[in-house]
Structure 1
Amino acid sequence: METGTAERLAHLPQVTEARNPGMALDLDWVRAVQANTSAIERRAATLPGRRSVKKAYQAAWLCRAVSCIDLTTLAGDDTVARVQRLCAKARQPVRADLLEALGLPGLTVGAVCVYHDMVAPAVAALQGSGIPVAAVSTGFPAGLSPFRLRVAEIGESVKAGAAEIDIVISRRHVLSGDWQALYDEMRAFREACGDAHVKAILATGELGTLRNVARASLVCMMAGADFIKTSTGKESVNATLPVTLVMLRAIRAYHARSGYRVGYKPAGGISKAKDALTYLALIKDELGDRWLRPDLFRFGASSLLGDIERQLEHHVTGAYSAGYRHALG
């Protein structure tokens, strides 16, 4: 592969991995899945105090976090100009002099995530950067539009140039235990994506129990999801460490049985650099170093980037700057 082509593909999920083809729905496996809530919450509660990195190591981990950010704008008042500014930030996520001092002048984010109407402007603004555009789809965030329209929306976003599609599942299938319906829905979404990679948003804050989160994760992977994602960012409860632990264990179990690696994306509520470090540490503990790359891990965030840039400036200069000096655009 030519160097230029390799660079353009560097961020796409599963580029260096065989893409998860899915498997037949195994209801015995799904129904056997349980979740010990008290044990999961105890494990998650210990993480912030047990896993810390300092100085140059912290800077390196924060730079890795930057490379795994899906820089996102999903507002009703989005404009082409706002998306263009966001894409400029995606190309240059941290001030150039800081990246030079860190020895990472070419650092970029993992992707830019927008609504369908902003896919074409984002693709144009990112041309030649190697940064893919992700589109939220299938009636995001509720996922309650007619099924044929949800499938058609995927096709329109792919046609517009989206390389990744973030779909939302029908929560009712999980809450009613209709795993066949969830599998069939996810399979249809995967097929509609074609070569675009699909992230399945579970909306974990609306699924009721950690057991439901575990089972929904497994079913979506069986149906061919390239990534499983916690939230739309619009729920009252978004990404949490207990939910993350459950989803990572499901990914690990699926990999052990199928041999395919599936990515993970926490979204919503992650705005501080120290929280990003905790998530990275949990990924390393549960799945290993291979998942600490943008083809298998993403943060769904925007405000997170500003705090990381502030921490990196402190590492380089020894002084903290005001948050407003690190705007997104």
Structure 2
Amino acid sequence: MVIPIVQTERRKKKSEKLVKKNYRKKQSGAARLSANDIMSRQKLKAYQDGYALAMAKYGLKRGIVGSEARHTTTAQYYRDLLNQTEDIQENIGLLLAEKERAESGLAKIKSEARTEQLKNKATDAMTAIASGVGSLFGSGKLKELEQANGKLQGEVDKRDNLIRLLNDHMRMQEERHSTETHRQQEIHRQELNMKMKKIEELNEIIGKTFKWFPIMREMLQMEKFCKSAGFTQEMIDVLLAKRKPIVCSGKLYSTQHRQSFQIKDAVCKIEDDLTEEHKLVLTINRQPIVLWFTKQWEKLQQNLRNSVQKEQKNRGFKL
């Protein structure tokens, strides 16, 4: 376990001074928690490499670095697997029904065979007596019984072979289902590895972009802020990409005050923050939007107070 206790100054401390917030300030140099250093991208990769090296003697291997596996959604994977399972279950159900019919027929045949065996025993008992007479009148009836018994035994063997074939077919279906399941799982794992590699590559590109162009992070944050305020994407492109002012009329929403404020023919522009490097500020009529929101909020509160006082005053003259 690692508890990342640091005493360095917070990175956002300077920018937070510009915004009025109600929280207790900590003493300078006081201990606090921060995982910025130990949870960076380079450190996480180093942890994985080190752990794989330490576990190599136990036969564990590290995941593929830079895998280009492609990933289908988990929902699609399980939908395909469910469809295959339903087909196999349907085939198994048919085979079980056929097996049940075969076993029912076999039981009937065996029952008839037992009855026929009793008859054969009685016939054998009379054979000695009828042997002398049979020489005179012939043994046609006995031969017919022997032929019928042989035919009945053939039917029993045929049904036994059919049941054996059905069992073999069911076992093959189960083995095929297990093999297909493992194959789909392996494909899913490979695609997941490919997707993770692609994500790592994109994260690396984003990290380099932020490192080489520090203003990019600030531009993304400013885009998010403009969207929350109510600017359209076309307006944001003009403000950020072209860095040109625009004239707006309508409503702007303040997440801090949870209130929309009306503007009319206001000049909106994104400018560089003169107090801090690589920082941007959105202005309304050359006034920072944070201060503009604050003033609009104060005006709204004052109007509400005046309205309440006026209503109370008018009530005093009623008879």
Between Structure 1 and Structure 2, whose CA radius of gyration is higher?
Answer: 2
TM-score, normalised to structure 2's length?
A: 0.17
